Structure formats: C-alpha cells, structure tokens
Amino acid sequence: MKRPIAAVLALCVFLLSGCAKQPDMPPSAPPSEVTAPAEPVPVIGSAPPSPEPDVTVYSIDGLEIPVPTDHLSLLAVETDLEAWSAHRTPLISFSELASVEAGQLDHPGEDWGDGLLCTLSRLDRIGFEEWASSDEPGTSIFARDGDHAYYLLTQPTDVRLYRGEQAPDSVSLAVWERLNAWAESLPAEIIARNGLTAYNAEELFDADYTYGGEHVELGYRIPGEPMDLVLLALSQPARQGEGGIWCVERVRYVYSDYDMTDTHLIFPAGLGVDQTAAAYYADMQADCDAGENPDLLTPLGAALRYARSAAWLFGEDVSASDFEWIESLG
C-alpha cells in the first residue's frame, strides 16, 4: 500500500514546472445464467460469466476474472461501473450479497458500500501517474501488460460486513473471512490467467528518486511547526547536463520532533495535465530551448517557481534566499 499522506498536501503540487463513493448501484438486473448454485449471484451490468469446472469466468474489456463457482451464491457482482476519468476504467466490483441485501432493507435504493470486498480497474500510463501523485488509501497497483496498462485493486479501509442492527453471527463472520481471503488472492489469479506482469508500485515510492542522473535537494524551514522542514527533490527529467530543465519530482515533508517524513511523488497528471510526464517534460524542454522559461535551467529557479505556486505553504513573499542547499547527488 502507499504510505499515508495528508490529502491537503497534494494541493501544493500545482503548477509543477510552470505549465501547467463508489458509484450509486443501479437497479439489479436479472441474474445471469450460471451452472452451479441454486441461487445464482445477481450481476449488475452487461458481462455475463462463462462457466468452467469449479470456476466462473467474467470477461470484462478483454480481461478474464475467475471466480470460484461455489462463491457465486455469496456475491453481488457489478460490471456496469462509472469511469473515474478517461485514463482510469473500473472493470468489476465484488460485494458480499447478504450485506448488500441487509443494507437495502435499511436504506433502500441507496448505496452505502455495504459488503464491498474489492474493485478492479485498468489505468493507462497517465492514469497511473495520476494515481501515483494522489493519496488513495486501500489501493494498490498489482500488474501491468504489454499495452502499457496498469491494474489497480481497491479495497475498503474499514469492514463493510453489514447485518443491520444485529451483530454478525459466527457463520456470517466465517463467510466474510472466506470471501476476503479470496479477494486477496484474486490479483495473483488474474495475473496468471491473463499473462500479465506482476508489478509492485512500492518500489517507485520507496526509491530515493524518480528519474536518473544528478539530483539536488533544497530545503525550506518552517520553525515552530510540527512539519518544520520541506525538502524539494529536483532532477533533470528530459535532458541531463547543461541546458536541461529541472523539475521538482518529489516533496518530502519532515516532522523532526516525531522523526517522521511523508514523501509525495509529483507527476504532471496529478495536476490535471493530460500528458505523461515524459511528453510533458519533453515539451517543456523544447520551450526552454526556444528561449522560454529560463528559470527552469537551474534547480533553484525551478524550486522557486514551484514554491510560488504553493504560496499557502511557502508564503506570498518566498524568495531564493529562503532555500538552503541540502545535498547534490550523482
């Protein structure tokens, strides 16, 4: 999982280098025909499953998702999900059926996420960079494919088992644990069945830097505050050496008294830019080569421009003298 970051800190990445409920559940459709349980799962959407021995397979937008057939009577499956953006497409969602039914008795026609187990989504590269720039608890990228698509598993950060005013009995708890164990195993099954490449985004978050080459860290101190130091990690994303632009690629928020650091990755897509970082910085480099944005040719110039775009943190009158050179690494 991604490390937790205060959501408000994500706002400070605006103007990176100068440019710059789960959807309501529709009314249940008639259940699809499957070979197994006497009471088949309600399927909300348009992708009927195909039966195999012991497994029922949902084929959603070219991705095959296997479900143990003996789980079907326990699940509500939703395939008609609203897309978050053009770069992030939810494919399928699984919930515990008994919780969904109990919730509809208490709040009919409303979707409170009762019984939610997990949702699977596909992201393109822009969607991936948008996700990596954000703070989304309960999400993890688990695979990618040869078409530069990434696969995201979303799980609730709280328990959605629901039985109304009654406490769940031992049978309900056993079923809930069984379904959650299956949801945890689903990414590996999807990878194997679809020939995907396993991918752990934690390697990106845990790395010291995003891009190669020389790196510079500049510090901005805020005395007397719990978050008393902001470190800006800068690199040259488009061209190394003389003439290459600099960008703020990571921001580290340091709480010295608590010996704690929150690190936030910065990608243009996280600011609403409809480009990959590679394309965006290539355009910025071309503009700089044409004589525009000369301040981006130095780490301090790029850091100051970034700081002025986040005046709520750095102040309206922030200047180059407010930054101190922390380190430079090759």
| Confidence category of residue 174, pLDDT binned at 50, 70, 90 | very high
Examine the fold and report which residue of 157, 174, 202 is the final residue of a domain before the chain moves on: 202
The confidence score (pLDDT) of residue 204 equals: 92
Residue count of the chain, please give it.
330
| Confidence category of residue 51, pLDDT binned at 50, 70, 90 | low
Judge whether 215 lies within some domain.
yes
Tell whether 223 and 261 lie within a shared domain: yes
Alpha-carbon distance 31 to 33, whole Å? 6
| Confidence category of residue 182, pLDDT binned at 50, 70, 90 | very high
Q: Which helix (H) or strand (E) holds 2?
A: none
The answer, yes or no, to whether residue 21 has pLDDT greater than 70, is no
Examine the fold and report which residue of 202, 222, 243 is the final residue of a domain before the chain moves on: 202
Tell whether 176 and 66 lie within a shared domain: yes
The answer, yes or no, to whether residue 15 has pLDDT greater than 60, is no
Tell whether 217 and 178 lie within a shared domain: no
Contacts of 75 (CB under 8 A, 6+ apart): 41, 67, 94, 95, 96, 97, 117, 179
Percent of the chain at pLDDT exceeding 70? 83
Judge whether 121 lies within some domain.
yes
Overall average pLDDT of the 274-288 stretch: 96
Judge whether 248 lies within some domain.
yes
Report residue 90 as tokens: 């939810």
Range of the domain at 180: 21-202
Instruction: For 296-328, give one letter per residue: b (16+ CB within 10 A) or e.
Output: beebbbbbbbbbbbbeebbeeebeeebbeeeee
Strand partners, 235: 215, 247
Examine the fold and report which residue of 186, 202, 218 is the final residue of a domain before the chain moves on: 202
User: Rounded to an integer, what is the distance from CA 206 to the centroid of its chain?
Assistant: 15
Judge whether 10 lies within some domain.
no
The answer, yes or no, to whether residue 16 has pLDDT greater than 50, is no
Q: 226 or 21: whose pLDDT is higher?
A: 226
Overall average pLDDT of the 154-179 stretch: 94
Judge whether 108 lies within some domain.
yes
Percent of the chain at pLDDT exceeding 90? 71
The confidence score (pLDDT) of residue 100 equals: 96
Tell whether 187 and 169 lie within a shared domain: yes
Overall average pLDDT of the 230-246 stretch: 95
Report pTM. 0.79
Overall average pLDDT of the 38-55 stretch: 55
Tell whether 109 and 155 lie within a shared domain: yes
- Quick: pLDDT tens for 89-118: 999 999 999 999 999 999 999 989 999 999
Tell whether 244 and 302 lie within a shared domain: yes
- Quick: pLDDT tens for 195-214: 999 999 998 999 989 999 99
Is-contact 32 59, C-beta < 8 A? no
Tell whether 269 and 161 lie within a shared domain: no
The confidence score (pLDDT) of residue 191 equals: 97
Tell whether 236 and 195 lie within a shared domain: no
Q: Mean pLDDT across the chain, nearest whole number? A: 85
- Rounded to whole angstroms, what are the CA distances from 130 to 105, 126, 142, 316? 38, 6, 16, 27
Judge whether 41 lies within some domain.
yes
Tell whether 231 and 277 lie within a shared domain: yes
The confidence score (pLDDT) of residue 27 equals: 34
Judge whether 111 lies within some domain.
yes
User: Rounded to an integer, what is the distance from CA 98 to the centroid of its chain?
Assistant: 29
Q: Total domain count for the chain?
A: 2
The confidence score (pLDDT) of residue 281 equals: 95
